[in-house]
């Protein structure tokens, strides 16, 4: 009987040293997906409502989407949009969406210098192709062609 116990001890010791397999992490549902869906359909007030359901004030993507929804709303909330873009860029200074959209907001406010500064930052960050860079370039070109009016 002792030999049976002794034969089991090495295996028991090895089993104790072998870590349990970690269960596969389940992908977390994108909490921002409902707001993105509303934005894709240009339902800006509904997107704002969806974003308010999510505690995302410390998330650059959340702030960027909120800024976008507020800027595109009728009537637009430019000050609110600016606050959210500023927060997104404070949280992530390289956030391409916030750089693009805050540049477009600057053009809406007649601030070409800020839009061009955002464009310069995107130029340093982006490799080609870069939709954010291309879109802001196009918005600045339109702004200039219209004589500084958007």
The DSSP symbol for 32 reads T
What is the phi/psi pair of residue 92, to 5°? -145, 90
Residue 59 lies inside a defined structural domain of this protein: yes
Would you call 27 helix, strand, or coil by DSSP? Answer: coil
Q: Which of 95, 112, 94 is nearest to 103 (CA)?
A: 112
- Domains contained in the chain, number: 1
Confidence at residue 149, expressed as pLDDT on a 0 to 100 scale = 72
Confidence at residue 55, expressed as pLDDT on a 0 to 100 scale = 85
The DSSP symbol for 137 reads H
User: SS3 for 58-81, per residue?
Assistant: CCHHHHHHHHHHHHHCCCCCHHHH
Residue 18 lies inside a defined structural domain of this protein: no
Residue 15 lies inside a defined structural domain of this protein: no
Residue 60 lies inside a defined structural domain of this protein: yes
The residue range of the domain holding 39 is 32-145
The domain spanning residue 93 has which CATH number? 1.25.40.10
Encode pLDDT of 90-122 as tens digits. 999 999 999 999 999 999 999 999 999 999 999
Residue 109 lies inside a defined structural domain of this protein: yes
Encode pLDDT of 15-35 as tens digits. 344 344 444 444 445 899 999
Full-model pTM:
0.78
**Burial letters for 68-94: b for 16+ Cβ neighbours within 10 Å, e otherwise?**
bbbbbbeeebeebbbebbebbbebbee
Residue 16 lies inside a defined structural domain of this protein: no
Highest-confidence range of 4-18, 33-47, 121-135, by mean pLDDT?
A: 33-47
């Amino acid at each position: 009987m002792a030999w049976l116990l002794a034969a089991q001890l090495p295996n028991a010791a090895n089993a104790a040293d072998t870590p349990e397999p970690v269960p596969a992490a389940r992908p977390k549902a994108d909490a921002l997906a409902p707001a993105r869906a509303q934005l894709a359909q240009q339902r800006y007030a509904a997107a704002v409502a969806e974003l308010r359901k999510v505690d995302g004030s410390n998330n650059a993507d959340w702030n960027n989407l909120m800024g976008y929804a507020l800027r595109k709303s009728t009537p637009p909330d430019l000050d609110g949009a600016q606050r959210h873009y500023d927060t997104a860029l404070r949280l992530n200074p390289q956030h391409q969406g916030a750089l693009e959209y805050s540049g477009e907001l600057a053009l809406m406010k007649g601030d070409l210098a800020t839009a061009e500064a955002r464009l310069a930052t995107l130029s340093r960050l982006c490799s080609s192709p870069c939709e954010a860079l291309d879109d802001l370039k196009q918005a600045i070109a339109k702004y200039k062609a219209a004589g500084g009016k958007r």
